[in-house]
Structure 1
Amino acid sequence: MQAEEVKQIIESHLSDAEVMTAGEGCDFQVTVISPQFAGLMPVKKQQLVYQCLNEYIANGTIHALTIKTYTPEQWQSLQG
């Protein structure tokens, strides 16, 4: 699996999300920025992303996944 495929899968499940991916093979890092994360605890944000990729984690296509999640406002504040 390629990073671009992971990005497309997440974007197809989380409408209006901005997704950045890195990695290859079965090890990926994703950063997801979405207004859907507003008011959610960090673990709930990650669960939303995991739900998008559950099938691929379960069948071993994705073995390692690092997730960073932000609301657009949080992401903007990190950009300085």
Structure 2
Amino acid sequence: MSLELQLIERLQQLSPSHLEVLNESAGHGGYYPGKESHFKVTIVSDAFAGLRLVQRHQKVYAAAGDLLGAGNIHALAIHAYLPTEWTGTAPASPECAHAPKEA
């Protein structure tokens, strides 16, 4: 099972009302077809009630568990919202300084 699908499966434990996982690996240095190293997660859940931003991120990291680290997910951008905060869009990811350059 791909890392992306495993991450989606694990994040389901947070009972999201909205979950989007994007593999952004192609926009980073060292990319090759099929590489899974950089992801962006947008998650909306009541599980974040009463939590500060860093605590929300810690919850997502805990759910991802051993998928994070060497040989697996190298970078995880997290946008974690309560349903009352969710506007329907998450911020765009910045461009990587080491992204493959087009000729």
TM above 0.5, yes or no, is yes
Aligned to 2:97: none
Task: Find the aligned partners of 2:5 and 2:38 in 1 and give their Cα distance.
Answer: 13
| TM-aligned CA deviation for residue 54 of structure 1 | 2.3
TM-score of the pair, normalised by structure 2: 0.64
- Secondary structure of the residue that 1:46 maps to in structure 2? helix
Gaps of 5+ in 2: 26-35, 89-103
Aligned to 1:48: 59
| TM-aligned CA deviation for residue 40 of structure 1 | 0.8
2:62 maps to amino acid: Q
Contact 2:3 2:67 in 1 (8 A): no
Misfit runs of 4+, over 4 Å: none
Structure with bigger strand share is 1
Backbone CA RMSD of aligned residues: 1.6
Q: In percent, how many aligned pairs have the same letter?
A: 29
Structure with bigger helix share is 1
The count of residues paired between Structure 1 and Structure 2 equals 75
Task: Find the aligned partners of 1:67 and 1:49 in 2 and give their Cα distance.
Answer: 8
Aligned to 1:29: 40
